[in-house]
Chains A and B, each alone.
Chain A
């Protein structure tokens, strides 16, 4: 890490918490440094829908008071955190980057928000996203696009692009996103940071505004693997308010990080790694194989393997996720909260409100999902797609008989220019091809930065594990982090981000 005096924002959550807990630094001063970084670059990056400077100052002061009073300020004491703006915060607008939630202030906190607060974290703002987390570029926001802080002409990925950008820009050391088909891992890859999609049920979804309930998971962004481990330990574990929550405490991840990969069997998924799949860029493929070589050098055995049904993942995903979304998003009807466009009858008011309040991508997916569930089409689309999920789980299970972990690129390419893929939704959807299988299976996976592409922009490598396999997954991630070639120099705000930089 670079010198914290020169680059106060470039340090890690673990270091900050240690300094604040020991009294070496105050939470307030750490916060002010981060607010200053935000102040300097937020206008060009637009990571946030809302910066909560006053609330953050109050929270930081409370942490400092606890330290002064000899009380345990928590494992994330004074660590600035950014929240994707689809997690409920009591009394604070939660927009999902949609006009339809205009004016809504949730009367409750999401479980992850409560757990962050209990751990001493300081929420500095709510980050931008593709509306209702539907997108792969953070261009589908009612509040404008978020730019990749490493190259302002490029997208940060999505849908958690605001959180990825915030961490990459040094606005916060860590952030939370949500991942339904790659919405944490893909922007993490495009912004050169770590992003984790935990096992389905590992982190409570209570208070996460639902996109696709059987796929959604909350997870961390960070600049280091260890910080993501810390975040997961804080936000993970059973929550009785989520019926799909795994009834176990969060696993200890930090203690396994130094165990290495000696003896682990790691398989490169053929279907997601180039030879079997069009569209994986040559430079991304090259980094993947370098990553595999690094793991091998660290003592793992690496081989190529097949998980055949993953090729159907994209098709199944773009049926299942819209189907669930069409139902989850029915409640935005102008009655209880958010936007209302008046009309003579309630039925007309529902239609007028939803027509005005949702953007095109959301409308597209609602219609797709409505169609997939409608009479006469259910079996052909939704029914069949749920069966494909079973096939994918079975194929993964076979692969995990021979391998402890699997490997693939996170995204097919490095960050693409803003506007490049907005005209054709299908082209945009193809971005998720490598990340979707884990969501369909409910398995954990994470993106670790591994060098840069020919354009100088970051490349991410995806490590996949079976359900609840996070400890092993993090061991490999730590090895990749240590072995990675130099990343983009600006990650963490250590260099001045430049519009029209490399690859423009």
Chain B
């Protein structure tokens, strides 16, 4: 099944898929949201605990200032209104949840109404981004490890009370690719502002996905299903495609969509029903009486805003402008964190196209000791014909590994610009050596010419140990053929 590679906006022709995501990210604080126990991943079970994180009788929550600060950073980065907020209790029984209620924010979240811009410039609405506490973790033991089989569970409360920001996106996404782009962008922002490490595989970032379908052109939204247990970007794409197809299948066979919460099974590549809306929990939200409202002052908010780093969106626009490309083209360089390097190299005169090509093709593993100036000098040598593309790549690798001056590094590697006379002599020698191939090259048959062009370039590169400049070689071959 190749669902995960589906990128078309219409997963099923004639149908539009409408997607809204709820992303939970653990905030990178030293302590938990409402107590001074450490916020730490892993560790011996039940060591990062205290009366509050265990929900012991008599314990009371006290809000972590840094968690609020990080939440404000998230809100500002998503262009939300940061406002007075009130914590609420969300009541439900579950062994992971020490108090059998979760302290969250309900009708008065700290951040509301913002937007996030995807790499291609499209904006996705953000409905809210609120603070809440995480649950503990239970592990099923015996009975084959599946929760519906016998056996028992063991509960570790190290994670209980870890601060989460829940970011609720508007149903503005229309494809699996959109959804993945949205999550990637959100993760980049969270990491850039130091709010979260954004690691989906460690569970510090989790995605729930609301999916509905409607005939293309229909203004009415279809009935949505919420898909849970998505643990990677790949799962996200697969789950959306599966769910969209399932819903279209139901509708085209004359059935109705029931509003449900569904579970994504990665192994089986399908979702299955957890519960219907009628079976939904009655959470009995009410304001948390043990906490007082959070009402960040304008001064606090502005000081957080002033300290924000440059965000991915701004970086993309800056690089796009410097390079004369669109933001989507600039995205990979920003994603790799090399836009500062690229922008500086361009400012030092480097050809933007060559800079972006190197970042995309030759710097996948990082820029190491490469400086903007040496990058610019290298690109200048390459563009000026002093280095071939292949040589430039080799020198670049050395600069990444050890730094240094590109001219000296190139000289040290014996990369001298090939003398045109010497190159001509080699070409003439090859023409003499392979007359039949040369005849084919010059026959006027375009197919033959292309085939033999590859042959001769290969031979020249072999003869020059790759030092010949590919463009110069092609020009020379063309000249000889016409002459």
A residues neighboring B (CB under 8 Å): 87-88, 94, 96, 101, 104, 106-108, 110, 205-210, 212-214, 240-244, 323-324, 326-327, 330-331, 333, 335-337, 346-347, 350, 370, 373-375, 378, 382
A144 to B298, CA, bound (A): 56
- Across-interface contacts of A335 in B (CB, < 8 A): 95, 155
CA distance A45 to B404 in the complex (A): 90
A106 and B93 contacting across the interface, CB-CB below 8 Å: no
Q: Are B58 and A209 neighbours in the complex by a CB distance under 8 Å?
A: yes
CB distance from A365 to the nearest CB of B (A): 15
Taking a contact as CB atoms closer than 8 A, the residue among A214, A333, A374 that contacts B93 in the complex is A333
The answer to whether B93 touches A330 (Cβ under 8 A) is yes
Measured CB to CB, the nearest residue on chain A to B152 is A346
Give the residue among B57, B61, B93 with the most A Cβ atoms within 10 A: B57
B91 touches A330 (CB 8 A): yes
Asked if B337 is at the interface of the complex by the 8 Å CB criterion, the answer is: no
User: Which of B255-263, B284-292, B384-392 makes up part of the contact surface?
Assistant: B284-292
Are A210 and B284 also in contact (CB < 8 A) when A330-B99, A333-B93 are?
A: no
A205 to chain B: closest residue by CB = B60
B90 to A, closest residue via Cβ:
A327
- Are B56's CB and A243's CB within 8 A? no
A-B contacts, 18 of them at CB < 8 A, read: A88-B56, A96-B57, A101-B57, A107-B51, A108-B51, A205-B60, A213-B290, A243-B290, A243-B291, A244-B290, A244-B292, A327-B89, A331-B100, A335-B95, A335-B155, A346-B95, A373-B285, A378-B284
A94 CA to B57 CA in the complex, in Å? Answer: 9
User: Which residues of chain A are near B57, meaning CB under 8 Å?
Assistant: 88, 94, 96, 101, 104, 106, 209-210, 331, 337
- How would you classify the secondary structure of chain A's contact residues: helix, strand, loop or mixed? loop
Question: Which of A88, A243, A336, A350 is in CB contact (< 8 Å) with B292?
Answer: A243
Residue B62 at the A interface, CB < 8 A?
Answer: yes
Contacts of A205 in B (CB 8 A): 60
CB-nearest residue of chain B to A108: B51
Q: How far is the CA of A292 from the CA of B89 in the complex (A)?
A: 44
Residues in B whose Cβ lies below 8 Å from that of A209? 57-58
Complex contact A337–B56 (CB within 8 A): yes
Residues of A within 8 A of B51 (CB): 106-108
The interface centre, meaning the residue of A241, A324, A331, A346 with most chain B CB atoms within 10 A of its CB, is A331
A-B CB proximity, top 7 nearest: A330-B100, A373-B284, A213-B289, A214-B289, A209-B57, A207-B58, A88-B58
Q: Is the CB of B153 within 8 A of A327?
A: no
Chain B residues whose CB sits within 8 angstroms of the CB of A207 once the complex forms: 58-59
Within 8 A of A (CB), among B26-62: 51, 54-62
Q: Is there a chain A Cβ closer than 8 Å to B98's Cβ?
A: yes
Q: Which residues of B contact A110 (CB under 8 A)?
A: 58
- State which size class the interface on B falls in: 20 to 34
Complexed CA–CA distance, A88 and B54 (Å): 15
Chain A residues with CB below 8 A from B93, complex form: 330, 333, 347, 350
When distances are taken between beta carbons in the complex, the residues of chain A under 8 Å from B55 are: 331, 336
Name the CB-closest residue of A to B92: A330
A162 to chain B, nearest CB (A): 18
**A-side contacts of B54, CB under 8 Å:** 336
B16 to chain A, nearest CB (A): 32
CB-defined contacts of B282 to chain A, threshold 8 Å: 374-375
A346: nearest chain-B partner, CB-CB: B95
Q: B197 CB to closest chain A CB, in angstroms?
A: 28
Q: A88-B58, A375-B282 are in contact. List 20 more A-B contacts (CB 8 A).
A: A107-B56, A108-B51, A208-B58, A209-B57, A243-B292, A323-B286, A324-B286, A326-B284, A327-B89, A330-B91, A330-B100, A330-B101, A333-B95, A333-B100, A337-B57, A346-B95, A347-B93, A350-B93, A378-B286, A382-B286
Contacts of B290 in A (CB 8 A): 210, 213, 243-244
Taking CB atoms, residues of chain B closer than 8 Å to A331 are 55, 57, 98-100
Q: How far is A96 from B57 in the complex, measured between Cα atoms in Å?
A: 10
Q: Kindly state the separation between the CA atoms of A456 and B101 in the bound complex, as whole angstroms.
A: 48
Question: Contact: A210 with B58, CB < 8 Å?
Answer: yes
Q: For A87, what are the chain B residues with a Cβ–Cβ distance below 8 Å?
A: 58
Bound-state CA distance A104–B54 (Å) is 13
Q: In this assembly, does B181 line the interface, its C-beta being within 8 Å of a C-beta of chain A? A: no
Contacts of A374 in B (CB 8 A): 282, 284
Contact A206 B289 (CB under 8 A): no
Shortest distance from the beta carbon of A363 to any chain B beta carbon, whole Å = 16
What is the CA–CA distance of A375 and B56 in the complex, to the nearest angstrom? 28
Complex: chain B residue closest to A386, CB-CB: B287
Chain B residues contacting A213 (CB-CB under 8 Å) are: 289-290
Q: In the complex, what residue of chain B is closest to A375 when comparing beta carbons?
A: B282
Closest to A209 in B: B57
What separation, in Å, do the CA atoms of A207 and B290 have in the docked complex?
A: 13
Which residues of the partner chain A approach B284 to less than 8 Å between Cβ atoms? 326-327, 370, 373-375, 378
With contacts A333-B95, A335-B155 known, is A106 near B286, CB below 8 A?
A: no
State whether the Cβ of B63 lies closer than 8 Å to any Cβ in chain A: yes
Residue of chain B at shortest CB distance from A351: B93
Mask, B117-130, CB within 8 Å of A = 1, is 00000000000000
Chain B contacts with A in 203-262, Cβ cutoff 8 A: none
- Min C-beta distance of B331 to chain A, whole Å: 43
For B278-316 the 0/1 string (1 means CB < 8 A from A) is: 000010111001111000000000000000000000000
Complex CA–CA separation, A346 to B151 (angstroms): 11
| Chain A residue contacts of B60, Cβ below 8 A | 205-206, 241-243
CA–CA, A88 and B58, complex, Å? 7
Residue among B63, B153, B284, B291 with max Cβ neighbours from chain A (10 Å): B284
Which of A331, A335, A374 is packed against the most chain B CB atoms within 10 Å?
A: A335
Chain B nearest Cβ from A467, distance in angstroms: 15
Q: Which of B88-112 contact A (CB under 8 A)?
A: 89, 91, 93, 95, 98-101
A350 vs B62: C-alpha distance in the bound complex, in angstroms?
28
